[in-house]
Amino acid sequence: MPGNLSFDDLKSRVSTGEIDTVLTCFTDMQGRLMGKRFHAVNFVESSFKETHCCNYLLATDLEMATPDGYAATSWRKGYGDYIMAPDLSTIRLIPWLEGTVMVLCDILDHHTHAPVPHDPRAMLKRQVVRLGELGFDAMMATELEFFLFEKSFDDIRKGGYRDLTPLSGMNEDYNIFQTTKEEHVMRPIRNHLFAAGLPIENSKGEAETGQEELNIRYASALDCADHHSIAKQGVKEIAWQNGHAASFLPKWHHDKVGSSSHVHQSLWKDGDPAFYDESDALGMSQLMKHYMAGLIHYAPDYTFFLAPYVNSYKRFAKGTFAPTKTVWSVDNRTAGFRLCGEGTKGVRVECRIGGSDLNPYLAQAAMLAAGIRGIEDQMELAPPTRGDIYDAKNAQDIPQTLRAATETLRNSAFLREAMGDDVVDHYTRNAEWEQEEFDRVVTDWEIARGFERA
Ligand code: ADP
């Protein structure tokens, strides 16, 4: 891709003055890019080897609070440093910011230089290695859905998040005229991200007012997660540059459809699609059936990694294209798992459970772990479910609240085995904290309902 740079390429662009800024970034638990802005001369001379950050960055929440209860770090431990180790294979131009490139970093222990196990990128790498040991590569694509609003983040915040007017006023699902109204934002998003080395396929209007979807061509699991984090950052920044807010909150109003992040998955062996078997009626190999059986069986265990906030669970509503059941179906958008590309080499499974707020590294790590377990245990795939799955009988529900998903995560023997107790305990604490923060707040709804009537 045109925007990907080698380190030598970067050095020569720094020497001509074309590049003066290097963003060194990693993705935190919430899926946000965190890091520093280096003068490019300093980066190519020394900081390309490593830089540092406070280790609270993998133990905080959206508001940068410092909750207790994490074994990895705390006030008692003095909130020391992590090493940020630039992965020089990820250097890329950031064309929407003048003179700027970005490099993604791995997080290492300050003293031992070992990967930090709860670093989302390390968690995904761990599962990719496990899959490699079985002889397979994972190819993934995450769809990014989001809403564009008339006003900017700053204006909306100053207005107390009351005046949330989407950019276009009508359901814009596949609608060219409605999305033309958003082209002053979407065209630079597509073109800048493409020029940053992301294989952008398309954008399209989604099934609500002001709702867009961005599709990026499938890639190896790690590249896919890298692409997703950079694309999300780019969408927000380019919308901001144009005076608008782009929000990935999964459900910003109870009467509106939510935003999701569907994850397409296939396994490959030596460059050939290992999910394909031309002799099967749907073109599904035995490997694919085992993978999907694991994916579906363990979905409640890893739902937290697809839906990490209280708000995420408001999306799972009947009749909204967001699923409520962990079953699979053939090209059916009411199921948690949809078979796509059936009968072709492109046969793949799309997980529809994840919201637009998912962290792509965590979501993919958890789903790969489930698929690997399915393969290892040669799990049997149940037949597909048909029809309107919102009303399906005897189908396993997706955990319906963050509270429920926290317990399925905490008690998941499979995830503890695949990811380690320390990692599962860390994210269980993350989930608990989110619920604790919500529980202590009195909401507008409670006041309006009970103030006079109670
Ligand atoms: P949808 O109807 O869900 O929008 P698309 O045909 O647009 O489906 O494909 C969605 C995503 O699936 C795209 O990002 C595409 O790159 C990805 N995709 C296509 N083939 C594969 C595959 N074999 N494995 C993983 N992802 C794939």
What is the token pair recorded at 423?
């990692």
Name the residue with the closest Cα to ligand 1, atom 18: 218
- pLDDT at position 322 is 84
Residue that terminates a domain, selected from 74, 95, 116: 116
SS3 content of the chain, % helix, strand, coil (to 5): 35, 20, 40
> Does 453 map to a domain?
no
Residue that terminates a domain, selected from 89, 116, 143: 116
DSSP run (H or E) holding 385? none
Q: Is the CB of 137 under 6 A from ligand 1?
A: no
- The structural domain count of the chain equals 2
CA of 341 to the centre of ligand 1 (A): 8
Q: Are residues 422 and 317 in the same domain?
A: yes
Q: Are residues 160 and 309 in the same domain?
A: yes
Q: Are residues 84 and 232 in the same domain?
A: no
> Does 223 map to a domain?
yes
Q: Which atom of ligand 1 is nearest to the CA of 216?
A: 14
CA–CA distance, 140 with 121 (Å, rounded to integer) = 15
Could you report the predicted ipTM of this complex, rounded to two decimals?
0.92
- pLDDT at position 318 is 81
Q: Which atom of ligand 1 is nearest to the CA of 275?
A: 23
CA–CA distance, 47 with 7 (Å, rounded to integer) = 12
DSSP run (H or E) holding 41? helix 40-42
CA–CA distance, 327 with 325 (Å, rounded to integer) = 6
- CATH number of the domain enclosing 12: 3.10.20.70
User: 349-367: b or e for each residue (b if 16 or more CB lie within 10 Å)?
Assistant: bbbbbbbbbbbbbbbbbbb
List phi, psi (to 5°) of 431: -70, -45
Q: Is the CB of 227 under 6 A from ligand 1?
A: no
Q: For CA atoms 309, 314, 316, 320, give the dihedral sign.
A: negative
Q: Are residues 328 and 359 in the same domain?
A: yes
Residue identified by tokens 């952008």 is 200
Q: Which atom of ligand 1 is nearest to the CA of 218?
A: 16
Residue that terminates a domain, selected from 116, 139, 164: 116
Q: Of 145, 194, 198, 264, which is best to mutate to test ligand 1, by the most ligand atoms within 8 angstroms of its C-beta?
A: 264
The candidate with the shortest Cα–Cα distance to 37, out of 19, 52, 53, 25, is 25
The candidate with the shortest Cα–Cα distance to 371, out of 124, 119, 127, 125, is 127
Q: Are residues 112 and 196 in the same domain?
A: no
Convert the pLDDT of each residue in 45-79 to its tens digit: 999 999 999 999 999 999 999 999 999 999 999 99
- pLDDT at position 321 is 79
Residues of the chain predicted below pLDDT 50: none
The candidate with the shortest Cα–Cα distance to 103, out of 90, 85, 119, 122, is 90
- How far does CA 397 lie from the centroid of its chain? 22
Q: Is 47 helix (H, G, I), strand (E, B) or coil?
A: helix
Q: Is the CB of 203 under 6 A from ligand 1?
A: no
HSE of 49, CA atoms in CB hemisphere, 13 A: 3
- In whole angstroms, how large is the CA radius of gyration of the chain? 22
Q: Which atom of ligand 1 is nearest to the CA of 202?
A: 7
**N residues, the chain:** 454
Q: Are residues 42 and 189 in the same domain?
A: no
Q: Are residues 290 and 142 in the same domain?
A: yes
Q: For CA atoms 58, 146, 140, 286, give the dihedral sign.
A: positive
Q: Which atom of ligand 1 is nearest to the CA of 265?
A: 25
> Does 408 map to a domain?
yes
What is the token pair recorded at 370?
């489930």
What is the domain range of residue 72? 7-116
Cβ distance 422 to 71 under 8 Å?
Answer: yes
The candidate with the shortest Cα–Cα distance to 104, out of 192, 9, 28, 191, is 28
Burial of 427 (0-12, 13-18, 19+ CB in 10 A): buried
DSSP 210: T
> Does 122 map to a domain?
no
Close Cβ partners of 30 (under 8 Å, ≥ 6 residues apart): 61, 62, 308, 359
Q: Are residues 195 and 314 in the same domain?
A: yes
Q: Are residues 104 and 162 in the same domain?
A: no
> Does 454 map to a domain?
no
- CATH number of the domain enclosing 205: 3.30.590.10
Q: How many CB atoms lie within 10 A of CB 112?
A: 9
Q: Is the CB of 139 under 6 A from ligand 1?
A: yes
CA–CA distance, 408 with 418 (Å, rounded to integer) = 15
> Does 355 map to a domain?
yes
Bridge partners of 246, per DSSP, are 148
Q: Are residues 104 and 141 in the same domain?
A: no
The candidate with the shortest Cα–Cα distance to 313, out of 427, 405, 424, 212, is 405
Q: Is the CB of 339 under 6 A from ligand 1?
A: no
Q: Are residues 278 and 217 in the same domain?
A: yes
Q: Are residues 261 and 155 in the same domain?
A: yes
> Does 112 map to a domain?
yes
